Chain A
Amino acid sequence: NAGVMQNPRHLVRRRGQEARLRCSPMKGHSHVYWYRQLPEEGLKFMVYLQKENIIDESGMPKERFSAEFPKEGPSILRIQQVVRGDSAAYFCASLEAVAKNIQYFGAGTRLSVL
């Protein structure tokens, strides 16, 4: 059973470009969480999705950020018009079911904005 797959591992964008980060959860997992890790900070929750639904986006910046988890395919975190402050490591975690309450993390995407 493959783990949580995130790609790309490293992403470089210039200010104003769009960044698309992909996350494929573990097989059989229908819950996905996105977290952001800024330098010298812990991970901060961004958004929680189930298939085709956003359940909790209380940690998402109000502008430029969006997330989806379609019926088929990976979850996508999209950042439009990136700024230098978006440079961070973005981690995805998947959960089989809430009763199992263990989140499995991917290796992350490290976004650098020039």
Chain B
Amino acid sequence: AQSVTQLGSHVSVSEGALVLLRCNYSSSVPPYLFWYVQYPNQGLQLLLKYTTGATLVKGINGFEAEFKKSETSFHLTKPSAHMSDAAEYFCAVTGNSGGSNYKLTFGKGTLLTVNP
């Protein structure tokens, strides 16, 4: 069984400030972890993913995330927020095992607001 907890349903930052969106997961098998972004009335776009290997993962639009197994975390960061980053962000997990069918378990999402 897997679950995802995103701390903070709403995060507000100033333009140019650090963005930190938190994600903790639980998984009974080694996880694959993802961050998706959703703009209003649109589908989900993949920002980045962790499967195996390097624990610091770089994604699109200047975002990155670090997989910390000991903390069961996969927090998303961006050094400097831009107005165009305003959107809803979803963390998701799936199982990394031969028996997994790779269905995603999502967190409830974090709405990021960027203030001028």
Contact = CB atoms under 8 A, between A and B. Distances in A.
Interface of A: 4, 6, 33, 35, 40-45, 48, 55-56, 59, 91, 93, 95, 98, 101-108, 110
Contact of B32 (A41, A101, A108): A101
A45 B105 contact: yes
Given A42-B90, A42-B109, A43-B90, A103 B43 contact: no
Contact of A33 (B9, B41, B51, B104): B104
Given A42-B90, A42-B107, A42-B109, A103 B45 contact: no
A42 B92 CA distance: 10
Interface of A, helix, strand, loop or mixed by DSSP: strand
Contact of A102 (B4, B9, B42, B46): B46
A91 B101 contact: no
20 contacts: A4-B43, A6-B43, A33-B104, A35-B106, A42-B4, A43-B90, A43-B92, A44-B106, A48-B103, A56-B101, A56-B103, A91-B44, A93-B44, A93-B104, A98-B102, A101-B51, A101-B94, A102-B46, A103-B46, A105-B36
